[in-house]
Amino acid sequence: MINCADFMAEIGNYLDGAAAADVRRQLEAHLAHCQTCQVVYDSARKTVRVLTNSGSFDLSEAASKPITENIMAMIRGQQRSE
């Protein structure tokens, strides 16, 4: 069973569709019972969608990684300030 730190470490890969099938299963199992990670996942997913829909960048593997990292840094910052 994974914990929240493991989830945060893998969420970028999960959003990019780059996580391995067994990792995805573990992330989904964690999401199902962890409200904190549900909020983080939802925020990150919405932010990625807004960015990709803006057409301002190409969501290639090379382009998406720094963006998901930036999103995660932003989310972590928000959590710290609460």
Give the interface with Zn ion as residue ranges (CB under 5 A): 4, 7, 34, 36-37
**SS3 labels along 24-49:** HHHHHHHHHHCHHHHHHHHHHHHHHH
Question: What is the rounded CA–CA span in Å between residue 57 and residue 25?
Answer: 29
Amino acid (1-letter code) at residue 45: R
Measured from the CB atom, the residue of 51 and 72 that comes closer to Zn ion is: 72
Measured from the CB atom, the residue of 40 and 67 that comes closer to Zn ion is: 40
Question: In the bound complex, what is the minimum distance in angstroms from residue 57's beta carbon to Zn ion?
Answer: 29
Question: In the bound complex, what is the minimum distance in angstroms from residue 54's beta carbon to Zn ion?
Answer: 29
Measured from the CB atom, the residue of 7 and 14 that comes closer to Zn ion is: 7
